[in-house]
Each structure stands twice: as structure tokens, then as C-alpha cells.
Amino acid sequence: MSAAGLGLRLHDTLYGSDYNRVFQNWWEYAKEHYVPIHGGEIVGSMSMYYDPILGIHMPSDHEPFQKFGTAQLIQGSRPEDSRVLVEAAFDQLGWRKGAPIEEKGGNPRETIMGMVFAREYGDEGLYGRLKAYAEEHHGPTWDDETGEFHWKFGLDEPHPRGQFNAAAALAETMTEGAWGRLVREPNLRKFVEPTVTGVDFPNVCLSQAVYDVDRKCLIVATDMGAPGASGQPTTFRITNVIPDNCVVVADGVVSDDWRAVDGDIEVSTTVDEHTFVVRMH
């Protein structure tokens, strides 16, 4: 239900609906039977499962990750309760009091989510400790064959573990308050501002794509690309523009190597490190 609440909150933010009220009503019930938060603290045992007919609870207090997981899902709708859960997990792990960082059974979930919330709440000291541990134990790896970066997490698997890597990447890239803003204050201008599309991924990867609304220019940067594809011709498109009003600057030089296609502009280049500035006038 917490995950459903997150989806409903996003829908309300994007489309002006009022579906999240259903979750808000349920959350009050949950605080009585699943997550006993009262007076700004957890006053009982959390339940991962509750059977109201038999009156049976399956407690999950032995896993701080359960608190992190629920907190992440409700951060957009109930930030105060989310903070209570996170602080309870931090207390349980003893990290703020200098307790050693340990991963029982080699499971990195608590360390990863600890980094996410340390960043969310601006606790750079705790983030630094967790980050140092992750650098030593999570196996950060640059794959020369694919040109991709991932974490191995000590797992002898043919493919990187997706959920762990996604959360670790979130911790790497986010800034203070970013997760809450993503849910409550998403950037809706991006749907009407100039946008990059049609990138030949994974041969080409973007290291930057940002629109400067004051200067009316889109800045796009590509990386070296996939090994074996270097130097190959490639294209990408910019949509939400008026082609006749565009000037393309490639690697600091005004370029004519682009054309109008179906109301977009299509930029021709090669797989390599390049920087493009698309100016609108």
C-alpha cells in the first residue's frame, strides 16, 4: 500500500487529481496496526504483515531495512513519519553513535539506503562514513568491455544486481531533499522545454543534458561511448523546438551538421566525447 500511495501521489502531482487521499486515510489505519508512530516516535513493534481477522502480527523490527523501505515510499506524502522511521533505523544501527558499519549476510541494502537518507537529510558526515565503506566493500567496477559502471556487491553473478545498483546510483547522484522534491515538486517544465531524444544507447551515452531557461539554450554532452563504437556516425534529436530559430554549436564551433525532421532537429555527430549547445533565438 505504501508503494501504491507513492504512485497515487505522483499521479496527483502530474495531473491534478486527488487519489492520494485514499492512501492518507489508510496510513492512519496503518499507524495503528502496522507502523505505530505516535508523538513523533515509534512506540511499538512494526509489522510486516498483519491479519486483522486472526489478530496476528509478523514483526519486522529486527530488520532496519524495513523502516528504510517504508520511509522511502511515504517520503512524498508523509515526510514527518518518514523521518521518524529513518531516525529509528539509524538508532537501531547505531551509526550516529559511531557503531561499526556491518552487512549481515553480505546484504548491502541498509548501507545503500542509509546513504540515500543521509543525503536526503544533508548528513554529509554519515554519508561519508557509509560511502567509504561502500567503496571498500561494494565492488565499484568499470567494465572495459561494455563501457558501463556498476557495483558487484560481492555477488558472483553474470549480470549486475539491478535493484541494488539502482539504489546505489540514487545515493551517488542525489542532493539534499532531492527525493522529497522529486515526488512533491517534480520538474514539469521538462515536458515543454527542448529535450534530447533518439540517442543511440548504449553506443552513445549522455553525460549532460540540461536546458538553461534564462539563456534559452540546451547543453548536451556525450561520453566516449561504448567500446568498439568509437568514431562511428550517429545522430540524436532535439524536440520541443522551432528548427528555424535554432543554432547548433558543436565543440565550440557553429555547426551546419544538423537538419529539421518532423518539427525536431536531428544532429549528426560521431560516437565520442562531444559538447553541443543548441541556442534558440
- Burial of 78 per CB tally in 10 Å (0-12, 13-18, 19+): buried
Gap between the Cα atoms of 174 and 197, Å rounded: 23
| Per-residue pLDDT tens over the stretch 223-234 | 998 888 999 999
- Separation CA 229–CA 266 (nearest Å): 20
Q: Give 107-135 pLDDT, tens digit per residue.
A: 899 999 999 999 999 999 999 999 999 99
Q: 26 in helix, strand or coil?
A: helix
> 9: closest CA among 189, 27, 18?
18
Burial state string for 26-43 with b = 16 or more CB within 10 A and e = fewer than 16: ebeebeeebbebeeeebe
271, 204 Cβ separation under 8 angstroms = yes
Mean pLDDT calculated for residue range 235-258: 96
The per-residue pLDDT for 109 is 93
User: pLDDT band at 51, cuts 50/70/90?
Assistant: confident
Alpha-carbon span 23 to 30, nearest angstrom: 10
- pLDDT value at residue 228: 86
CB count in 10 Å sphere of residue 179: 21
What is the spatial distance between Cα 217 and Cα 281, in angstroms, rounded to a whole number?
9
DSSP H/E element including 144: none
Q: Which residues contact 115 (CB under 8 A, 6 or more apart)?
A: 127, 130, 131, 134, 168, 171
How many residues does the structure list for the chain? Answer: 281
> Rounded to an integer, what distance in angstroms lies between the CA atom of residue 58 and that of residue 44?
13
Strand partners, 280: 246
Non-local (6+) Cβ contacts of 277 within 8 A are 217, 218, 219, 220, 248, 249
Per-residue HEC secondary structure of 74-132 comes to HCCCCHHHHHHHHHHHHHHHCHHHCCCCCCHHHCCHHHHHHHHHHHHCCCHHHHHHHHH
Does 188 have pLDDT greater than 90? no
pLDDT in tens, 67-86: 999 999 999 889 999 999 99
Q: Would you place residue 158 in the very low, low, confident or very high pLDDT band (cuts 50, 70, 90)?
A: confident
Cβ-contact 209, 101 below 8 angstroms: no
Specify the pLDDT at position 99.
Answer: 93
Would you place residue 177 in the very low, low, confident or very high pLDDT band (cuts 50, 70, 90)?
Answer: very high
The CATH code of the domain at 194-280 is: 2.60.40
pLDDT band at 14 (very low <50, low <70, confident <90, very high): confident
pLDDT value for 108: 94
